[in-house]
């Protein structure tokens, strides 16, 4: 019995040391945990938010931003909100290859809506990285004709016609309503949409936070070179070259080609099991297929079915704890509020 107990202890110690080595390998590969310590998390969010010093995350700004995020009156038609394409109940995306906007207009470039969860940790926003932070991103869909089809003047005019919103802006920003503060408030709300996972606990030293299969998948993820682009606190979110070693099979779906240098934002892998379909044009529905495709397109290697399955098992451990967001009630429109323009 003594021998058996010693053997079991030896196995457990070896497994613990192996897990500790894997944690170090992950850290060496550039993977970073979402901090479990609230102060450290606040620091990480603020460091990732260029406007955090000027516009801190107060409760008044958060509540205002949340209301605006869900309010469809920010769209020309009065029926599309930020949450329409970045649905917090659907992993922060919309679950279709390319979003549908004003007058049922499909996205003209056939671009897939990225998740809003953890987007604060992206170094750039949009697939081509054209916005540097969340507030700048919020302005894009709101004023794009195939999306919410609004204008800054329309948005501000509608909000100013609603006394409750006038008061909320004064409370949150001590200011009258202007379009920059509208997008700022939305960005402040989006800063809070962070989803820590078991993977983060593992990186912070809890060797039992991942099971053996997930650990094997993480090792395969690192060994195959996936962390070359999918690294940092968001396992993505930075501009990267695309089609490095091979051609993307569905490159002809839509006309998106990246930024002026052909760079494309590597999507965050957090909550990736919730955000199908995949790639910038939403052409791939299977996460396993996406993993194998990235092997050939980006790394110049073959990732076989077993290896892809292991990696997917690890990726599923990145599904995090969603923040509790209560759907808001909206203040009433008034006689001065402009009517919805459906353009039927």
With DSSP H G I counted as helix, E B as strand and the rest as coil, what are the percentages for the chain, rounded to 5? 45, 5, 50
92: left (phi over 0), alpha (psi -120 to 50) or beta: left
Cα–Cα–Cα angle for 182, 138, 55, rounded to 5 degrees: 50
> Catalytic residue at 153?
no
Residue 264 has what DSSP assignment? E
E strand or H helix at 223, and its extent? helix 212-223
CA-to-CA distance for 19 and 203, rounded, in angstroms?
10
Among 20, 47, 147, 302, the active-site one is 147
Based on its alpha-carbon atoms, the radius of gyration of the chain, rounded to whole angstroms, reads: 22
What phi and psi values does residue 241 have, to the nearest 5 degrees?
-65, 150
Q: Where do the H-state alpha helices sit in 281-338?
A: 287-294, 305-316
Binding-site residue positions for heme c: 82, 85-86, 102, 226, 229-230, 294
Cα–Cα–Cα angle for 130, 178, 164, rounded to 5 degrees: 125
CA-to-CA distance for 214 and 315, rounded, in angstroms?
8
Cα–Cα–Cα angle for 215, 219, 220, rounded to 5 degrees: 115
Give burial (CB, 10 Å; 0-12/13-18/19+) of 23: buried
CA-to-CA distance for 272 and 92, rounded, in angstroms?
10
Active site residues: 147
């Amino acid at each position: 019995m003594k021998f058996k107990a010693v053997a079991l202890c030896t196995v457990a110690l070896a497994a613990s040391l192996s897990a500790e080595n894997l944690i170090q390998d992950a850290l060496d590969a550039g993977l970073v945990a979402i901090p479990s310590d609230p102060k450290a998390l606040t620091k990480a969010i603020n460091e990732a938010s260029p406007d955090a010093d000027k516009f801190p995350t107060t409760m008044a700004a958060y509540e205002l931003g949340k209301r605006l995020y869900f309010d469809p009156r920010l769209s020309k038609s009065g029926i599309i909100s930020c949450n329409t394409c970045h649905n917090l109940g659907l992993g922060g995306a919309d679950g279709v290859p390319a979003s549908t906007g004003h007058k049922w207009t499909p996205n003209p470039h056939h671009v897939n809506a990225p998740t809003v969860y953890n987007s604060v940790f992206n170094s750039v926003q949009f697939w081509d990285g054209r916005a540097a932070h969340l507030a700048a991103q919020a302005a894009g869909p709101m004023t794009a004709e195939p999306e919410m089809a609004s204008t800054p003047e329309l948005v501000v005019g509608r909000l100013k016609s609603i006394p409750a919103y006038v008061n909320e802006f004064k409370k949150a920003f001590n200011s009258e309503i202007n379009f920059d503060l509208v997008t700022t408030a939305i960005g402040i709300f989006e800063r809070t949409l962070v989803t820590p996972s078991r993977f983060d606990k593992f990186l912070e030293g809890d060797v039992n936070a991942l099971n053996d299969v997930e650990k094997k998948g993480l090792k395969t993820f690192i060994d195959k070179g996936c962390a070359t682009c999918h690294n940092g606190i968001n396992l993505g979110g930075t501009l990267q070259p695309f089609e490095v070693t091979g051609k993307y099979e569905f490159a002809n779906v839509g006309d998106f080609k990246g930024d002026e240098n052909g760079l494309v934002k590597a999507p965050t892998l957090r909550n990736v099991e919730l955000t199908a379909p995949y790639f910038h044009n939403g052409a791939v529905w299977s996460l396993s297929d996406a993993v194998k495709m990235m092997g050939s397109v980006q790394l110049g290697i073959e990732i076989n079915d077993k290896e892809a399955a292991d990696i997917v098992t690890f990726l599923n451990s990145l599904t995090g704890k969603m923040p509790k967001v209560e759907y808001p009630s909206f203040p009433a429109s008034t006689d001065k509020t402009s009517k919805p323009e459906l353009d039927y």
